[in-house]
Each structure stands twice: as structure tokens, then as C-alpha cells.
A and B are shown apart, each in its own frame.
Chain A
Amino acid sequence: MRTVLSVLGRRLASRWWVIGVPYAWLLFFFLVPFLIVIKISLSGVAIAIPPYVPTIDLAQGWASIRDAISQFSFDNYVWLTEGWASIRDAISQFSFDNYVWLTEDDLYWKSYLSSVIIAGVSTIITLAIGYPLAYGMARAKPEWRPTLVMLVILPFWTSFLIRVYAWIGILKNEGLLNQLLLWLGVINEPLIILNTNWAVYIGIVYSYLPFMVLPLYATLEKLDLSLLEAAEDLGCPPWKAFWKITLPLSLPGVLAGCFLVFIPAVGEFVIPDILGGSDTLMIGKTLWVEFFRNRDWPVSSAVAVILLLILVIPIVLFQNQQQKMQERDK
């Protein structure tokens, strides 16, 4: 009996290690920093180092934490929502003056919206390019596939920053793309791409394509080809079988790829900063400006918290939905 218990104990201990380590990792490197961000977002601005009050002096223990909590203010979040008040205003007045005023003032929600739109459109473009690519890879001869996967991962071997900078050389007025198009006679004068949203789209699609291709490839490669044969055998031509069999069965890959592209793209800072123009509005850039230019840590922390909620809530809802569907299947 004792031996049984000790074996069980060891089992449990080893099981704890397996899940305990990643949980500890998450706790220390995600949850704790996130709590700090939340704390800062609930603080006030101050000309100090760090530039907010109150600060928690751990040396004083609980007293200081209680003290800090009693001083928390939600002003920073109210500040972020002022845009909504003006929307309500605008709706109540229905005058275009308000719209003009909105664009001048309501930086935050405009940044969120614009980020989501840019990220969304980029995700769709990435999917449109990535799906055929992944499909081609999955249907290539088996001996070629590892090479093709390597080619997809290859860009990661150089710094992301350098690759984005390289696009300047391609997209600028006298850059490679314009030279090529001029030489081909497609255009008569250089296209202005750099420092516009076009360049941001190109940059995001380029940078995030591997994150779309790899999960898609993984699902498409697993697809049992005899299913397509069975469909054809039952009178379904190949192009129709794609819509009825291949696509539905690759949906998990499509979703994974879209999440992997959309989520980081929403918060993207480097690409809009380097390739975008002064009118390119993205939340990552706004956050950066708030943090480093205005040194307003509380507001930028609030921006970050809201950004996280914008991303997490739909994903959680979606997963719930998925789970319900799966349970209903059973």
C-alpha cells in the first residue's frame, strides 16, 4: 500500500512538473508584467522617475499596496472613451463638422479601428496569397516538401527590422519596383507607395506570410487524398471537391493562420513606423508616441490593456462557440 501511494505521489509530482513549468513561465513573464501594466494604467501622471504616482514601495509591504489601491483612478480609461462620447454627440447632431472634429481629436479609437482594419485586410490578403502557396507545397512531391518549408522559413534568418528596411529600397519613388514598372512601360511616372498605407499592407503581408503558410501547410499536408478520390468517384469534379472537401477540412489551419497574422498585426509598430506615412494610424504607433514622446505611462498602459481586451474577448468568445459546436456534435 505504501509503495502504491509513493508511486502515485511520484506520478503526481512528475505530472506537476510537466504542466507546472509552462504555467510558472506564463505567471512570471506574462501575468506579472500584465498586472504591473494594469497598475500603471490606473495611476496618475507625474514628472518623476518612473513618471507616475503612486508607486508601490515593496519595502513597506501591504500598507503601501493598500495605499496605492486606494489612490487608483480610472481617469485614464475615461480619457480613452472620450471618443465614444463624441460619436454619441455626432449621432445626435448629424453634422459633418463633427466628423472633421472627430478626426482631429479622437486619436485612440481611430487608431484602434484603423489598426483592426489594416490588420484585417492584411490578413485576408495574406490568406489569399498563402492558401495557394500552402496548397502547392502540400501537393508537391514528398521529397521536395522539406525544401519548400525551408524556403518559407528562410526569411527568419535575417533580422525582421532589416527586411522591413529593405522594402524602402524597393518601394521608394526611385526604388526597384518603380524602375521595373517604368522599364516595362506599365506606368509613365513613379507610383508613390512608400509612406502610404499601401506600403504598410505590403509590409505586413510580406512579414506575416510564413505565419499563414505554415499552419495551412500543416493541415493541407495531413489531408487524406483518398477523400478527394472518393468525392470524384461519387461524381464530384475536382474543382467542386475543393470547396466541399479540401476547404472545410483545412478550416482549422485557416483559423490558426488568421489568428497568427491578425493578432500581432493589430499591435504592429515597426512596419507602420518605417513604411507608413504620417497619416498611417495604428495603435502600436500611438502607444509608442504616448509612451516615449509624451512620457504618459498611465495612458499608454491603458491603451495597451484595451488593446489586449479587444483581441482577447473575441477570441475567447470564438473558442467558446467552437467548443459548444463540438459538444453538440457528440
Chain B
Amino acid sequence: MHIAALAKVVPDYEVPAGDFELAGNRAHSRYTRMIGLYDENAVETGIQLKEKYGAVLSIISYGSSADVPILRKAIAMGADDLSIVQGDSDDPFVIAANLKMAIEQMNDIDLVLAGQQSADLDRGVVHAILAEMLGCTFLAQISEIESGNGAWTVRQNHENGSRMLRLSGRAVFSITSSPQNVPRIPAVRAIMAAKKKPVGKLQGIETPPMQAGEVKVEIPKMESVCEFLSLDDLGQTAKTLLGKLREERYL
């Protein structure tokens, strides 16, 4: 069994809204870069499958070679190898095409895992496009995976519950976070060993982007307004508070 987990390096996804700024329509370069939140869940899921079924886990990323030191965390967590397809496009179609190229070069990938959405653009489309390009089944929001009798049995999460699905053949799953796939913290010796592992670098391919161009990027300005209500008469204060909340349509 050979599994590929897709990982994208993104700017810190926890930057407080009040501190967020753009530079050239993208997050300012001063923010720390890290592996996307759900991508780490995908990597963790891959490692668990590796441990359970003796699989080989490859990490594939599309981005710049400057991302390699950050991506090594996935190796330290337990993945076997890392390949980076070098490119700088934000276009989901271009990214998917490049990832497809890397997967096909590996030749024997049985399963592709990807975070349900990237932590920077939050689009959640690349994996679906990739599945289409690979011609295999795509299932979204997967939280648990089992393999047996030549088939995958998976749990798909919904807003109010989950359902179990079974399928066979090559597949792409988008992984959501669950208590079972909280990313592990790599052990120190694994971090050091990961630093010494060779990394596969693939040149990105040129491919036509989607027929949509970026016009403008905006982030909402954070504004906090504070109003103190008098506490002289608690009953009256409660009424005033209710009135204000209704006025602002919070209730």
C-alpha cells in the first residue's frame, strides 16, 4: 500500500484579525509559515494507516523549495519521503495538474489524502479537481479510514453526524479534523533524522489556469467598539442590553 498525503505550506493561520495585513494581495511575508491545519490532519491519518497496514507514506507538496524545512515536519511525524513540485501558482487547476504529475511519477499510489481545505485560501477544491484528473473516486470530509478485503471503509463527517461508506480502487479523500487524527508532535530524534533525509524536487509543469482572473483582494477591517451599560438598575440594564442586541440583529 502506497499512500500520498498532500501538504501545503501557508502563512500562520492564527494571526489575529487585527494584526493581519496584505502585501501584493497575499499575506505579508512577516508571518511565520507552517503546514496547513487540515493538511497536518491528513498527514497524521496517513501515518496511522502506515502504522496499521505497513503502508509507505509519501508527502507531496506544491510550492517553493524554501518550504522544504517546514515540510520536513511531516517526515519527522512519520512519513517516509517528501517530494516538492516547484511552482508558485495559486490557481487550483494548475496546482492539481502539478500534483497529478508527481503522483503519476510515483506510479503506485493507492490512496491520496489531502486536508479538507487550505489554511490560507480556504477553497477546498484542489483535491476534487485532482481526483477528476486522476480519474478516481473523491470523498470529502473523511475522518476515519480502514482497509480490508480490497476496499476502503471510511467515515464521512457531516454537520450533525457521520456516515460510513465503502469503496474500492484508487481514491482521493479530503480529511477533516477529528479527535482521532490530532497531529502528533514529532520526537526530537525524528526531527533530526528528518533533517538528513533527501527530498525529491520536481520541476513544475506549465498548464493553462482556470478562466478566472483576480481583480481585487480585500480583508475586513477589525473594529471593536465598547459601550458600558450602567449597573444601577440590573433589570433595566438587561432590557437595554436585549434591545441593543436585537437592534444589531444578534438576536
**Is this pair of chains taken from one and the same complex?**
no
